Structures are given as C-alpha cells and as structure tokens.
C-alpha cells in the first residue's frame, strides 16, 4: 500500500553527512567545482556572518542610502555590509514566497544551493524539509555544518552532487528552484531533472540573469560576466523553450532588473566587498542587454 506524504520517510540515497560520489561530469563542470571549492569572497562570507545566512546571489529593493553617508569609515563599512545583506535576504524571501502553499510535510529542492542560505529561508518560512545540491564539496560541508549549528540538520540537508543528475527520489518534491545557478548548466537537462523530481502540480521557480534576445547576440558586458564567473548566460527565450519541452508551464514572470540596480549601485561603493564586476553589471542592465528575471512555473 502506498504511503501518504505524511508517512514517507525522509531518506536520501546517501546520508547527508556523507560526501556522495559526484556523477560523471564534464571538464567544464569540474572547473566550476574547482572555482567554488576555492572561493572565499568577502562579498559572500562577510554578509553571511551577520546572521549565518549565506546567500550566493544578489539583492533587490530600495536602498537605505544613509548607510553610504555615514561619516565614520568603520561604521560606514559595517552599515553597507548589513544593507547589502538585507537586500540579498529580501531576494531570497521573494523567491521563497513563490514556492507555496507548502506545509511541514512537504519536501523542497534547492538546485545549486551554494552555502545554503536559500534552503534555510524556505524551511523557516514553511517548516518544510529541504534538500540542497551543490557541485562543490566544500559548500556542501559548510552548509551542513550551518544546519547542524541551527539544530535543523534533520530537516535541512545538503548534498555534494550534480544538479543535473541528483539521484534523489522521483516525484518526491512539492517545489524546487534555482537561484542564480541555471547559467552553469544546459537548460534542457536542468529542467528535465526538476520535472522528474517534482510531483504533478509542483512549483518551480528560477531567478536568473539572462541576456535580452531583442538586443541581439550577447553583449560585451554579458561576455565579461561569463568570463568573471566561468558561466554561460542563456538568452531569455531559451528558458521558456526549455520549460515547454520539460512539462514546466510558466504562471508568473517578473522582470526584477530595475529592482536590483540599487543593490549594484550600493555595492560599488563598498571597497571591502567589490569584486570588479559591479560596473559591468550596471552597464549591462542599463543598456538593456541583460535582465534579471524571475519565472514561476507549474509542473504538469
């Protein structure tokens, strides 16, 4: 007799504390893994240390510009760091708010979870059980340790696996997402895996940078962003075509470009956090060649 969702054990192929053997992957994916295994960027780490929520994505919303007007240099630095983290957390909450309605009995999947902040946000909002997957062994270990410190490691788990071939249970998930991680993979393969993992009627959300097809080919700025992050930014239309081929039907599309520009304007004023790509992002957003998009889709 088939068990109800409330009766299903919360098991995965490999225990969360074990480093799973990553499925066969390309040379490019190995390079991406090497990049994130070595990454120690202050813009990720310093912000996360404020409340142990580590977000590997950008922020949205209006900036409190008084932080940049602070006269004391050290206080100005701390206030800018806190404001950037607030904006990044606001982005995570926007995404999480599109996953529901969910209950503590539901399971959700975080594809390309980074150091795990998004999974924690979803769990705190809904009480749901979360599996995060990252190609970086270092990130998976870090995220699991954060979950352990919070006392939620029985419900929020991270796995060192390839998000294109997770080995997780078919049809077990009520919702899944990619938050600025879809530009590292081929979209058809990615959406096929989400469609496999999601139950019928399950919800998928992606927030991503994409290049604007109406502009033409990828702009110089997009090419510079690709080189900076070792990624391959997709055209906007590719998302909708790949979703249609993989049983994911968009129900909400939102252009977040204008909402993210203030974040970048503030970040370029933070010498302790800048990475050198800030002006490129701002130029790409403002010349129309690059967009920051959220797509919400249902699995049919």
Give the pLDDT band of residue 19 (cuts 50, 70, 90).
Answer: very low
pLDDT at 217 over 60: yes
User: How high is the pLDDT of residue 17?
Assistant: 39
Q: What is the pLDDT of residue 35?
A: 83
Residue 59, Cβ density class (10 Å: 0-12 exposed, 13-18 middle, ≥19 buried)? buried
Q: Which residue has the tokens 């949205």?
A: 60
Say which residues have a Cβ less than 8 Å from residue 223's Cβ, sequence separation at least 6. Answer: none
For residue 139, give the nearest of 159, 124, 122, 109 by alpha carbon: 159
Which CATH superfamily groups domain 27-299?
Vaccinia Virus protein VP39 (3.40.50.150)
pLDDT confidence of 53, banded at 50, 70, 90?
confident
Burial of 266 from C-beta contacts in 10 A (0-12 / 13-18 / 19+): buried
Higher local confidence (pLDDT), 230 or 7: 230
> Is the pLDDT reported for residue 10 higher than 70?
no
What does the pLDDT read at residue 128?
97
What is the band of 24 on the pLDDT scale with cuts at 50, 70, 90? low
Q: Is the Cα dihedral 101, 106, 111, 117 positive or negative?
A: positive
Average pLDDT, integer, range 7-34: 58
> Is the confidence at residue 8, as pLDDT, over 50?
no
């Amino acid at each position: 007799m088939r068990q109800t969702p409330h009766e299903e054990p919360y098991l995965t192929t490999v225990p969360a504390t074990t480093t799973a053997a990553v499925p066969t992957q390309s040379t490019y994916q190995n390079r991406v893994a090497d990049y994130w295994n070595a990454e120690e960027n202050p813009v990720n780490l310093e912000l996360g240390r404020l409340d142990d929520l580590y977000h590997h994505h950008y922020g949205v919303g209006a900036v409190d510009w008084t932080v940049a007007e602070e006269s004391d240099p050290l206080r100005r630095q701390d206030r800018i760091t806190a404001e950037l983290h607030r904006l990044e957390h606001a982005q995570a909450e926007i995404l999480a708010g599109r996953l529901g309605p969910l209950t503590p009995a539901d399971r959700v999947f975080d594809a390309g979870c980074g150091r795990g902040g998004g999974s924690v946000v979803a769990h705190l909002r809904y009480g749901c059980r979360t599996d995060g997957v990252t190609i970086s062994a270092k990130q998976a270990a870090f995220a699991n340790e954060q979950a352990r410190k919070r006392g939620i490691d029985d419900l929020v788990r991270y796995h060192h696996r390839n998000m294109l071939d997770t080995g997780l249970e078919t049809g077990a998930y009520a919702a899944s997402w990619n938050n600025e991680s879809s530009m590292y993979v081929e979209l058809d393969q990615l959406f096929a895996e989400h469609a496999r993992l999601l139950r019928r009627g399950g919800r998928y959300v992606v927030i991503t940078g994409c290049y604007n097809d109406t502009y033409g080919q990828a702009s110089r700025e997009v090419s510079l962003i690709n080189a900076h992050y070792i990624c391959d930014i997709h055209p906007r239309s590719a998302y909708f075509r790949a979703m249609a081929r993989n049983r994911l039907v968009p129900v909400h599309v939102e252009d977040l470009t204008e909402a993210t520009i203030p974040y970048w304007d503030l970040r370029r004023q933070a010498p302790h956090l800048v990475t050198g790509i800030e002006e490129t992002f701002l130029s790409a957003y403002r010349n129309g060649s690059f967009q920051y998009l959220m797509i919400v889709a249902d699995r049919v």
